Chains A and B, each alone.
Chain A
């Protein structure tokens, strides 16, 4: 596809269950980001992957959160033992630098509801 794709679009889960959120970035993009957007709030940085470098995990809120990026492409964000405060829209973005030009392209997000 032409854009960043995220699945599922919506996920309702019971408190305490684990969830996996998937992101398919734009082909060839070396950078991949995960953000969280709570209701009415701004963007909260979670994790950043750049090529083969070690990811920047500085935004992960707790050790229940983890993310992988396999083969430099698809990424999975895993939340273990979900809590109600994890309810939010999780956004993925990818980018690639061309000279001075860096533009991030965002997916449509996964709306996670923990009940």
Chain B
């Protein structure tokens, strides 16, 4: 079974400080990992996916298969980063996305 765990419901970080949103997953096969974001009064949308190895809005995430983690990081937080962040997993060959319960990130000015 697929499972995604985001241990922090709430996270507050000062502007300019580093940000790390934790995500751990449980899946025995080859996973695809994603981060989704929901800004205030906007739709939930894709932020980045591990397969693309991309950096979006300064955020990066590295898939660590040994630790089964996909933490989201940004070196210097900005106020506009305040949002709800969801980690998600899809199994190759099984399209169903499984989401974590989310972390609300608040950037303190």
Contact = CB atoms under 8 A, between A and B. Distances in A.
Given A42-B9, A91-B44, A106-B45, A56 B96 contact: yes
A42 B96 contact: no
A24 to B, nearest CB: 14
A30 interface: yes
A42 B86 contact: yes
Given A100-B32, A103-B46, A106-B44, A31 B51 contact: no
A48 B96 contact: yes
A45 B99 contact: yes
B74 interface: no
Taking chain A's interface residues, is the majority helix, strand, or loop, or is none over half, making it mixed?
Answer: strand
A104 interface: yes
Interface residues of A, number: 28
Contact of B99 (A43, A56, A95, A102): A43
A76 to B, nearest CB: 20
A42 B90 contact: no
A43 B32 contact: no
Contact of B86 (A40, A43, A102, A103): A43
A65 interface: no
Given A30-B95, A56-B96, A91-B44, A101 B102 contact: no
B97 interface: yes
A94 B6 CA distance: 23
Interface of B: 6, 9, 32, 34, 36, 43-46, 49, 51, 84, 86, 88, 90, 92, 95-102, 104
Given A41-B102, A101-B51, 8 more contacts: A31-B95, A42-B99, A42-B102, A43-B86, A45-B99, A93-B97, A97-B95, A106-B45
18 contacts: A31-B95, A41-B101, A42-B6, A42-B9, A42-B84, A42-B86, A42-B100, A43-B44, A43-B86, A50-B95, A93-B44, A100-B51, A102-B32, A102-B97, A103-B49, A104-B88, A106-B44, A107-B43
